[in-house]
Amino acid sequence: MEKKPFATKDQLEAIAAQYPTPFHLYDEAGIRRNMEALRDAFSWNEGYKEYFAVKATPNPFLIKLLHEYGCGCDCSSYTELMLSDACGIRGHDIMFSSNETPAADYQLADELGAIINLDDITHIDFLEETIGHIPETISCRYNPGGLFEISNGIMDNPGDAKYGMTTEQLYEAFRTLKAKGAKEFGIHAFLCSNTVTNDYYPALAKVLFELAVDLQRETGAHIKFINLSGGIGIPYSPDQEPNDIRIIGEGVRKVYEEVLVPAGMGDIALFTELGRFMLGPYGCLVTRAIHEKHIHKEYIGVDACAVNLMRPAIYGAYHHITVAGKEDALCDHVYDVVGGLCENSDKFAIDRKLPQVEVGDLLVIHDTGAHGHSMGYNYNGKLRSAEILLREDGATQLIRRAETPADYFATLDCFDEFSGLSKRS
């Protein structure tokens, strides 16, 4: 698969003239097409709902864009709940899935009417003590342990993950919650991350559907929904085949009809909590080459750094890079593309074949629409960049301004001797 930017060099230069690099750019048209495809893939399930994983890209303009298609919010913290509320998304349009949860987070989730997804059996008593009751609709997160395997091999190791309840705990939790007044139940599981296969969701669905049938029979709890969570990934590398959401949806439908319908549970709603799949390919980090260095290797220094995109630095993750305007040029040079942090891991690419890069060129780092800007930080006093939405008509909209030194120093403004720092731009 060939990766091409969703904006031309001329468009990027025009945007950069208005908003200095680096910046994250999002493709409205692509986001809408993808949302429509997801909606169509699960249209066979009457209660289907996507809860966008806010942690992936916590920008209210993008959240509201997805909400136009009925998306809710998957929140995991107090501030994510606040953001959802500010976007006008409340009640059962919020799924609150957190772990090691502070009392204040549960209190706000309850005030907003969110569906609370319990990560641990000990949280039942903690929740009841915190909010004074057990909600009538509640969900529990499941961790089967061991390895999760499908036909093409081992996918991940849930037994090594900190999330969810064991099988025995899940049954006990349902009985306890039912005795405390819960009336409608959900099951949630996240067993693999960033899968690039159409087989993952149907395999996960089979595990959860069979579990649901047995849970309802053994505990008498009415299971209202099953949340397949996230895990559908994207092809970061051009040699990967992308997932086909329509094939995935059809695969889940077949398992639904094989397992749930014969058990008289064909009214169960399906939920997803996708983040990377929703926005990942529809965002990019645009940065300018500002230096070149010739020592033991060839280096291109750019004005972005791991503050703007930390996945390559902390995971060694691959992100494809296009030199704007040189999409069809021969990749006959080998570079490390690096940022300016005082960390040797601050590299967007290592030994990457690219066309000749000259100082002043714009580089497009692909697939940063999820877990890109959201993972930013301020090491070395670096400031997080702006976020810009490329509208369907080609216009641009600033949806988050770039940070300034005043933002960096704002948490010191309670001290008189440092208060002047936050007033300087």
Q: What is the DSSP string of 356-425?
A: PP-TT-EEEE---TTTTGGG---GGG--PPEEEEE-TTS-EEEEEPPP-HHHHHGGGTTSGGGGGGGG--
Neighbours of 144 (CB within 10 A): 18
In the DSSP assignment, the letter for residue 44 is T
- Token pair for 101: 């949860």
Which pLDDT value is given to residue 414? 87
Asked whether 317 and 236 are in contact (CB, 8 A), the reply is yes
Hey, where are the domains in the chain? 28-279, 281-412
Integer Cα distance of 224 and 46 in angstroms: 12
- Token pair for 205: 């669905």
Which pLDDT value is given to residue 247? 98
Nearest to 312 by CA among 241, 232, 367, 380: 367
Integer Cα distance of 396 and 297 in angstroms: 38
Helix (H, G, I), strand (E, B) or coil at 110: helix
Helix (H, G, I), strand (E, B) or coil at 195: strand
Which pLDDT value is given to residue 423? 67
Integer Cα distance of 67 and 90 in angstroms: 11
Q: Which neighbouring-strand residues pair with 218?
A: none
- For 104, 230, 281, 397, the CA distances from 368, given in Å and listed in that order, are 32, 17, 7, 18
Per the annotation, the verdict on 284 as an active-site residue is no
As its CATH architecture, domain 28-279 has: Alpha-Beta Barrel (3.20)
Asked whether 234 and 367 are in contact (CB, 8 A), the reply is yes
Judge if 28-279 and 281-412 fold alike in CATH terms: no
- Token pair for 164: 């969810």
The pLDDT tens digits for 167-179 are 999 999 999 999 9
Nearest to 80 by CA among 114, 122, 35, 34: 114
Q: Exposed (0-12), middle (13-18) or buried (19+): which is 333, by Cβ within 10 Å? A: middle
Strands 396-400 and 49-53: unpaired
**Most distant CA pair in the chain, distance:** 71
- Domain covering 281-412 in this structure, CATH number: 2.40.37.10
In the DSSP assignment, the letter for residue 104 is H
Residues of the chain with pLDDT under 50: 154
Spatial CB neighbours of 87, under 8 Å, sequence gap ≥ 6: 60, 63, 64, 67, 73
b/e map 245-282, b = 16+ CB within 10 Å:
beebbebbbebbeebbeeeebeebebbbbbbbbbbbbb
Angle at 124 between CA 122 and CA 125, to 5 degrees: 80
The active-site residue out of 73, 75, 305, 342 is 342
Neighbours of 395 (CB within 10 A): 9
Integer Cα distance of 373 and 207 in angstroms: 34
